[in-house]
Chains A and B, each alone.
Chain A
Amino acid sequence: ALRRQRVEVSVELRKARKDEQILKRRNVSFGLRDTAASLGEDKGNESVQLSMEEIVEALNGSNTELQLQATQAARRMLSRQKDPPISQIIELGIVPRLVEFLSYADRAPLQFEAAWALTNIASGTSEHTKAVVEEGAIPAFISLLSSPHMHISEQAVWALGNIAGDGPLYRDALISCNVVPSLLALVSPATPVGFLRNITWTLSNLCRNKNPYPPLDAVRKILPVLICLMQHEDRDIISDSCWAVSYLTDGSNDRIQIVVDTGILPRLVEIMASLELIVMTPALRAIGNVVTGTDEQTQAAIDAGVLAVLPCLLRHAKPTIQKEAAWTLSNIAAGPSQQIQQLITCGLLPPLVELLEKGDFKAQKEAVWAVANFTTGGTVEQVVELIQSGVLKPLLNLLLVKDSKTILVILDTISNLFTAAEKLGETERLCLLVEELDGLEKIEALQTHDNNMVYIAALNIIEKYFSEDNPDLQPGTGRDGLFDFSVKKQDFNF
């Protein structure tokens, strides 16, 4: 059996998944009151309304008070809830000036407003992020991490998170500018929760994306901190640190090994068992990724207790959780027969059959893979146990599904079942069972399926098991018109 990685095709027809962690975030002002006002940076509540032209003029001018007002005005526009004018602001050509303000260490309010404005510009499309990075914002933000003002440092963390979230290129640019040590230095028992949330999120973006993976030494530095963060009591912090680990495990086996070596799997399984979607989702994804690895890595996840948690997740009300759990199970079922045995012992067969019967379609597809892998790697006794758990009926019913690949996988599974039945001398009983469960009529109908491989697979099963030579042993006909009994001798070696 083959372990299947998370992504099978690189093209997507669907919308980006709603339960994914967010890549970039804008710092939005909620309500009428300005969040900055509460920080006491604004004088009173009077906000100055400036036009775009006035902003450009003030920023480029030398009046410091006007510079602050203009920066604030720009930030405010970028922070409004609907349709922030990011592109228009960039077109004004003020980004270089805003980046410059970041270095005005003696003018903290201006630094803060500029950092916020730039954070929100970087939260847009790749083009928007690029506009910020190309003006040299990376080193400027990194040095702001050690600003004596916590709210400035926090805003810099946020901005860097948006830049890292753009993709592997900027992520690595940040890492090569040594962002990691400065970020990690901010984590301490005294760090306020809100701040810690931002740091965790930015760290997770530094772990995110493949092609290429993040550099190894950076990962090695970040991981121990993530492990600590995962013990935190705040669920957002747990969630984002789990997301980070899920990115680190979404790759080749040596990447998975680094995570396994930290001994974090039991904690991940514990989080996976939590009822809160926000933390359970990334933990499940991380564990799901781990079991795409080697047999030993999968065993580590089993030893951490994943099999005890899966039944509940397979029965979860949310279809994506069902699906993710079934995918995880399918990869465990792709392991050696000892692991399959553990899967049986831990009672995974009943929820698997239930899922096949009435799960969400996405989850049913994964459940079919789980059964297919099971029948490929399982012993004959294990396959018998699978059949006894009632898998055949829902499996055969799914031959009516509207997805050719799933149908093909089911047909392959049926072939595997027959191979096991042959070993037991129970082929005829299986034939009967398949027929009783209306499977035969469905397989027969698939012989007219439009997909060629489906048609051939169905035909093979029918020909091999439902109809039935050794051409070289066939006798000829003698002169009396009867079969001729004769054979040429060869050398035998059994």
Chain B
Amino acid sequence: MELSDANLQTLTEYLKKTLDPDPAIRRPAEKFLESVEGNQNYPLLLLTLLEKSQENVIKVCASVTFKNYIKRNWRIVEDELNKICDSDRIAIKANIVPLMLSSPEQIQKQLSDAISIIGREDFPQKWPDLLTEMVNRFQSGDFHVINGVLRTAHSLFKRYRHEFKSNELWTEIKLVLDAFALPLTNLFKATIELCSTHANDVSALKVLFSSLILIAKLFYSLNFQDLPEFFEDNMETWMTNFHTLLTLDNKLLQTDDEEEAGLLELLKSQICDNAALYAQKYDEEFQPYLPRFVTAIWNLLVTTGQEVKYDLLVSNAIQFLASVCERQHYKHLFEDQNTLTSICEKVIVPNMEFRAADEEAFEDNSEEYIRRDLEGSDIDTRRRAACDLVRGLCKFFEGPVTGIFSGYVNSMLQEYAKNPSVNWKHKDAAIYLVTSLASKAQTQKHGITQANELVNLTEFFVNHIQPDLKSASVNEFPVLKADGIKYIMIFRNQVPKEQLLLSIPLLINHLQAESIVVHTYAAHALERLFTMRGTDNTTLITAAELGPFVEVLLTNLFKALTLPGSSENEYIMKAIMRTFSLLQGSIIPYIPSVISQLTQKLLAVSKNPSKPHFNHYMFESICLSIRITCKANPDAVGSFEEALFMVFTEILQNDVQEFIPYVFQVMSLLLEMHKNEIPTSYMALFPHLLQPVLWERTGNIPPLVRLLQAYLERGANTIASAAADKIPGLLGVFQKLIASKANDHQGFYLLNSIIEHMPSESVDQYRKQIFILLFQRLQNSKTTKFIKSFLVFINLYCIKYGALALQEIFDSIQPKMFGMVLEKIIIPEIQKVSGQVEKKVCAVGITKILTECPPMMDTDYTKLWTPLLQALIGLFELPEDDTIPDEEHFIDIEDTPGYQTAFSQLAFAGKKEHDPVGQMVNNPRIHLAQSLHKLSTACPGRVPSMLSTSLNAEALQYLQGYLQAASVTLL
């Protein structure tokens, strides 16, 4: 490609076509450009166009095309064609910097990006003059040019902020520092001087401040990896000027915009970042400057307004103070009573004030308000930062700070008392202040876990919180109502129980408040109170204590779901769930009305499920209704099926993915309630449950396995007779699950149920295949979890089909297989099995292998007999796992195991643990003794001789204990 006018003309035409909205014109043009970009001079033609074209739109288009071309082609990949010829590379590098600097901003940005892409590959070795070229431009005095250079430098150097320390990187940084640090420092000083000469020229100031922001950013990049010698030597210059800039104000630079941060705010924010970098990494060297920054930053805070545009700056600045004040060697900066007072008065209190923006959110965007206020997603807010500062100061100055704030709290409360309707914000601030002062540690689950002992929380509660909540109107001063309810909620572990009981009717009353925040907080507070623990692992508040309020509580909770804005309020639904769980049998009289309200709700939200938490608690509430009712009256299950199946069918038919796992769990619960053979309505659904598409969604797997298990427990014979052709499909599901490390245990649940419940003739033809599959997984990718499940399964198989059958099927797959599994898997791994039932299954299975398997006595396998016995005794004598108490009531979504499936696991649809050997064997140790006795009677003398040759003394002692307990002796 020649650098000719004709080619420029052609290129112009094609570039123009690439802007055409019609794809029939645009696409071929793009294709053409791509086909010619490999030619020599192509990039130079683009550079010529972006500089000299008559049309601005072509200039911009050429610059974008050029940048994308560089992005795709500049990097030289080993063993691949060099896509840009060397002469073009040289020409580009020679011309691009001046070209970038002389271009208008729109084009400058594209070329600056291109330079940094090239720089990433070529700088510094293959582009040695770049730095000098850039530095020379600092002399130009033209800040349009200088800002271009600074922007380019920023894009070249910002990688120093994230790359690993290496010789290569540090050599480059050293080179950059040698060439760049001094000129940058001089430019910094000169720019600051120019700012004062042009203090009255807005447009000049804007350009100069843009430079200062870029310079401050470059400072951050260059100082990131380690403290360079140059910057250590020149710390005085930089830090003094940064300090001055922090304190600088210029009316001309103040923006009218209330939301968007202006140049001054951006610069000061970056300076706060720079100071924080030094304070974190170079504390030793920065120590002499730090006090000045503390003072400057707090003065900055004192003088910065309440507008939203300052929020980031203010919260950054407060966080800086918070991180410094809790360090031992800066303690003295804050120690002085006047300093503390002024920080409290001028930094903390003002930033805790309820602002117009907060008021707006409280009324119009309550969901966001609740999220920020309740769930702590307030990281960048001023209130959060102020709170963190209070906590930081309390580390060393709890007494003085508490004293200072007590004064403020009192005066604010007095202000409020004078004229509540005007001064209610004062009380809000007072409550917030008390809260942040008193709370030392907090968790979602328990509220405040550590409180400041200097604050009398109960007294404040009785004098200032309760009166608000007792007021006749639930809708007056909604913000104060919300504050009061939140106070009960977070200090529930500090306020005495009798006060909490007095609050319950007040909270129930506030479920009727119009304000979304207020009735949500009331529901949440009730829910939290109901989950508090009393003694003996029971609830603090009992069903009996709630007796007088049951009806009004249920009525108000369901009515709250009809208030505007709360139709899918998760806090209310969670409170409903918790109320059911706490009240248990007391809710039975209300169930008919409750279940119809819940079904209607379910029908309504299944059209468009959007609140996962709400939905989850709704299903939990349905499960609770079923369990509580059927516990008292098992026949009621039919009426629940009647009420629910219509909605469930609709959910399954419309494939409402979010709800399907829940539906399966509720169905499992209902099916398990049946005492007799499986109803035909369930059997009709069976083939559908085996559809692969259902098993592709991870959230479906646990509930579906659970449901299939319920089918096998209640209807194994029906399946064997009426759906025998579906057995391969059922085993296919097992195979699908066993192939996954995440789901293999689910596969075993299913397999165990199949082996336990299906008539043996229905599975005979598949048995060998099942084992081959398991051995394959064992060979290729065994995990501890898999081995544990595998061990339980083979022992269950042994119990059901006998030890000989187990040995025969193993050895029919491969000779000596049985011995290999004993030696390599069972003996060394059996100790890993956990869980009472699982251990028991293994014990009974192994006992069978020891005593009911002739090849163990008279083949090569005999040598494994004693080691196996020893392993079994080891399994018995391991410390038992603690049994899990009935913790269901306290369960939270967050507690349910698993990550992705967390939302689908319903605690109240829980399955009772099943013990397949429960009736057969009561005490597995005695069972072992009796079985050994039986064996020794059959072949006298052999058992004692095997024991005496290789069983270790300790194990032998245990064994003698078992024999004694069973009152048997070995012959």
Contacts and interface: CB of A to CB of B under 8 A. Distances in A.
Interface stretch (B156-164, B470-478, B504-512, B863-871): B156-164
Interface in B228-284: 228-229, 232-233, 277, 280-284
Interface string B719-743: 0000001101101111110111111
B226 A484 contact: no
B779 A490 contact: yes
B785 A425 contact: yes
Contact of B779 (A8, A468, A493): A493
A435 B177 CA distance: 41
A489 B734 contact: no
Interface string B744-778: 00000000000000000000001001001101111
A450 B740 contact: no
A25 to B, nearest CB: 22
B690 A10 contact: no
Interface string B198-234: 0000000000000000000000000011111100110
A14 B483 CA distance: 53
A480 B725 CA distance: 10
Nearest to A469: B740
Contact of B776 (A8, A9, A473): A473
B229 A14 contact: yes
B739 A469 contact: yes
Nearest to A491: B814
A405 B164 contact: yes
B779 A466 contact: no
Contacts of B166: 9
B173 interface: yes
- Among B164, B691, B832, max chain A CB count under 10 A is at B164
Given A485-B728, A487-B769, A10 B779 contact: no
Kindly state the interface size class of chain B when it binds its partner: 35 or more
B817 interface: yes
A474 B692 contact: no
B732 A478 contact: yes
A425 B733 contact: no
B879 interface: no
Interface in B804-856: 813-814, 817, 820-821, 824-825, 832, 834
A33 interface: no
A11 B175 CA distance: 11
B170 A9 contact: yes
B742 A469 contact: yes
B897 to A, nearest CB: 5
B914 interface: no
Interface in A227-248: none
Is the contact region of chain B dominated by helix, strand, or loop, or is it mixed? helix
B162 A450 contact: yes
A470 B224 contact: no
B171 interface: yes
A431 B900 CA distance: 12
B768 to A, nearest CB: 9
B780 interface: yes
Contacts of B167: 9-11
Interface residues of A, number: 57
Interface in A3-36: 8-15
Contact of B228 (A14, A403, A492): A14
Contacts of A468: 698, 740-743, 899-900
A475 interface: yes
A104 interface: no
Contacts of A485: 728-729, 731-732, 734-735, 766, 769
Contact of A14 (B226, B277, B777, B817): B226
B126 interface: no
A361 interface: yes
Contacts of B775: 492
B769 A402 contact: no
B418 interface: no
B327 interface: yes
Given A11-B171, A475-B732, A490-B779, A482 B229 contact: no
Nearest to A440: B899
B371 to A, nearest CB: 15
Contacts of B692: 477, 481-483
Contacts of B283: 319, 360-361
Contacts of B733: 483
B784 interface: yes
Interface string A355-366: 000101100000
A62 to B, nearest CB: 49
A422 interface: yes
Contacts of A481: 691-692
Given A13-B227, A358-B327, A482 B691 contact: yes
A10 B161 CA distance: 20
A206 to B, nearest CB: 28
B535 interface: no
A8 B165 contact: yes
B868 to A, nearest CB: 16
Contacts of B228: 13-14
A486 interface: yes
A482 B227 contact: no
Interface string A190-228: 000000000000000000000000000000000000000
Contacts of A469: 739-742
Contacts of B165: 8-9, 405
B164 A453 contact: yes
Nearest to A482: B729
Contacts of B54: none
A25 B825 CA distance: 71
Contacts of B900: 467-468
Contacts of B284: 319-320, 360
Given A472-B780, A473-B735, A402 B785 contact: no
A428 interface: yes
- Among A11, A404, A454, A486, max chain B CB count under 10 A is at A11
A137 B161 CA distance: 50
A8 B167 CA distance: 8
Contacts of A475: 732, 735-736, 739
Given A469-B741, A474-B739, A425 B729 contact: no
Interface string A156-184: 00000000000000000000000000000
A478 B687 CA distance: 14
Interface in A433-479: 435-436, 449-451, 453-454, 466-475, 477-478
A40 to B, nearest CB: 43
Contacts of A422: 783-784
Contact of B226 (A13, A408, A483): A13
B608 interface: no
A437 B330 CA distance: 27
Interface string A122-141: 00000000000000000000
Interface string A381-422: 000000000000000000001111100100000000000001
Nearest to A475: B735
A484 B164 contact: no
Given A361-B281, A451-B162, A15 B229 contact: yes
Given A467-B900, A494-B821, A14 B785 contact: no
Nearest to B277: A402
A146 B756 CA distance: 99
A423 interface: yes
A472 to B, nearest CB: 7
B504 to A, nearest CB: 29
Nearest to A8: B165
Given A489-B772, A489-B813, A494-B825, 6 more contacts: A9-B170, A13-B170, A470-B741, A483-B690, A487-B773, A492-B813
16 contacts: A9-B167, A13-B225, A13-B226, A14-B226, A361-B283, A404-B162, A408-B164, A422-B783, A450-B161, A468-B698, A473-B773, A482-B690, A485-B731, A490-B776, A492-B776, A494-B820
The list of the 5 closest CB pairs from A to B, nearest first, reads A483-B732, A468-B742, A482-B729, A473-B739, A485-B731
